[in-house]
A = this chain, B = another copy of it.
């Protein structure tokens, strides 16, 4: 059962890293503070993840696994699932904060998460377009194509997160997202 213990440690470390990144971003995060949170020394942590960047990569990979399993389908998301995803996010400000902070940093030059987010967006847009095509066909009610609407859906989700993180009481994130989806359906909308 040593293997199990080790895997457990790794999971703990990733959880702690997620928290620390949420609080201070990747650049602001220190190995020491992550280690402390799992009851290790900084060097003990380096035993599991040999560099700070390796730890970040592990965090991103876990995220990747997460979004490739739940919430998503082989052929993409479904629109009603997107709404639940936003609701789910609204209950997990920590995770949202982690990835919003990372996204923000990632636009800077040579940031280790930059490639991750770039590729992720490419995929997300593509699968979003699929989703929209399944839902609406080649033309959405407003006259847009799925490919042109996809970046908008994505943008709304991300943009709302920042507003919500900064001032949760000022923005009803899930409600606002539903409003946007209704907009996609046009004025001739369903319930």
Contact = CB atoms under 8 A, between A and B. Distances in A.
Interface of A: 22-25, 27-28, 97, 100-109, 114, 117-118, 121-122, 125, 141-144, 148-149, 151-152, 154-160, 162-163, 165-167, 170-171, 175-176, 179-180, 182-184, 186-189
10 contacts: A25-B105, A27-B28, A101-B107, A103-B162, A104-B105, A121-B162, A152-B160, A152-B183, A155-B156, A157-B159
Contact of A156 (B97, B114, B159, B186): B159
Contact of A152 (B109, B114, B176): B176
B107 A97 contact: yes
B109 A144 contact: no
Given A24-B108, A183-B144, A166 B114 contact: yes
B167 A155 contact: no
Copies held by the complex? 2
Nearest to A149: B179
Chain A interface, DSSP helix/strand/loop, else mixed:
helix
A186 B171 CA distance: 23
Contacts of A189: 142-143
A166 B27 contact: no
A175 B166 CA distance: 28
Contacts of A142: 182-183, 186-187, 189
Nearest to A155: B159
A28 to B, nearest CB: 5
Contacts of A144: 179, 182-183
A141 B182 CA distance: 11
A143 B180 CA distance: 11
Contacts of A24: 108-109
Given A100-B107, A121-B170, A159 B149 contact: no
